[in-house]
Chain A
């Protein structure tokens, strides 16, 4: 199969945020040097808050001691956007894609990330939509998915986070994306029990279809 017509998908399962960030950066370097093709990483993190380039610690609503008690670390990272939460029950997908192969269009790329989630939710009978000016996916004014991306040399990393069955306790510790918005999970809207890994496979497949690429399952050892 022509590697230019495929995107590799590596499912990492549960993985520490810092470890996955190091992996993303390593894969980004390899992709920039063309020693690796396009890759999607899917993962579920241990609890963590990340602050993007527009982020402010003012949007953390609890003290450092509470975070320490809960074992929640904070990472200042390079992606766009403000603060967000990652944790168990949340699907995170990191696309490491060379956008020169997709028309060098940031808007189209973000639209595709959103659309992959909207179509996945639709298949679960959950109607969702965009919110003009606020990238992400929304259900009746409640945020179900966040987006934050970094692009260097036209190669992306960071990506999307879709709440599947996330504890609201941790979200209440922040103003997600710097907004005072309510968040929601798939499990709040569907009677059918769903696993993060299953939703991950669906979103990855949808994204491949939208980008007109075949998805090829790979393991971690094949990409590092």
Chain B
């Protein structure tokens, strides 16, 4: 990962062991505003919406749909404005 990219990390959802990526709500190349709905993950019959951590362009997706992810894991990258 290049140093000027902003990582999109799996947030801490509490005492859950893992979650599964349900869908990305934005595509590679999309311009994002901080707080935009970015992707949905599911754990324990709960769909959780992860917002964009910063404004910029979505340049990488590391965790595609159906991938199992854990807290702190890099899900993708944003190139800041």
Chain A interfacial positions (CB closer than 8 Å to B): 52-54, 78-81, 103-110, 135-136, 147-153
- Map CB proximity to A onto B1-43 as digits: 1 under 8 Å, 0 otherwise: 0000000000011111000001100000000000001001011
Which residues from A are CB-within-8-Å of B49?
Answer: 150-153
Are A147 and B47 neighbours in the complex by a CB distance under 8 Å? no
- Report the bound CA distance from A103 to B14 in whole Å: 8
Partner of A135, one of B23, B40, B44, B48: B44
Which residues from A are CB-within-8-Å of B40?
Answer: 53, 78
Chain A facing B: main interface SS: mixed
Given contacts A53-B23, A54-B22, contact A148 B14 (CB under 8 A): no
Q: What residue of chain B has the Cβ atom nearest to residue A154's Cβ?
A: B48
Interface centre among B14, B15, B22 (most CB of A within 10 A): B14
Partner of A151, one of B22, B23, B48: B48
- Measured as residues with beta carbon below 8 angstroms from the partner, the interface class of chain B is 10 to 19
Are A80 and B14 neighbours in the complex by a CB distance under 8 Å? no
Chain B facing A: main interface SS: strand
Are B44 and A54 neighbours in the complex by a CB distance under 8 Å? no
Q: What residue of chain A has the Cβ atom nearest to residue B37's Cβ?
A: A152
List 9 A–B pairs whose Cβ atoms lie within 8 Å, in order of A's numbering: A54-B22, A78-B40, A78-B47, A80-B47, A105-B13, A106-B43, A107-B14, A108-B15, A148-B45
Partner of B42, one of A80, A147, A152: A80
Are A53 and B47 neighbours in the complex by a CB distance under 8 Å? yes
Are A104 and B13 neighbours in the complex by a CB distance under 8 Å? yes
Q: What residue of chain A has the Cβ atom nearest to residue B20's Cβ?
A: A54
Which residues from B are CB-within-8-Å of A79?
Answer: 45-47
Partner of B48, one of A106, A108, A148: A106
Which residues from B are CB-within-8-Å of A54?
Answer: 22, 42
Q: What residue of chain A has the Cβ atom nearest to residue B47's Cβ?
A: A80
- Report the bound CA distance from A54 to B43 in whole Å: 11
Q: What residue of chain B has the Cβ atom nearest to residue A106's Cβ?
A: B13
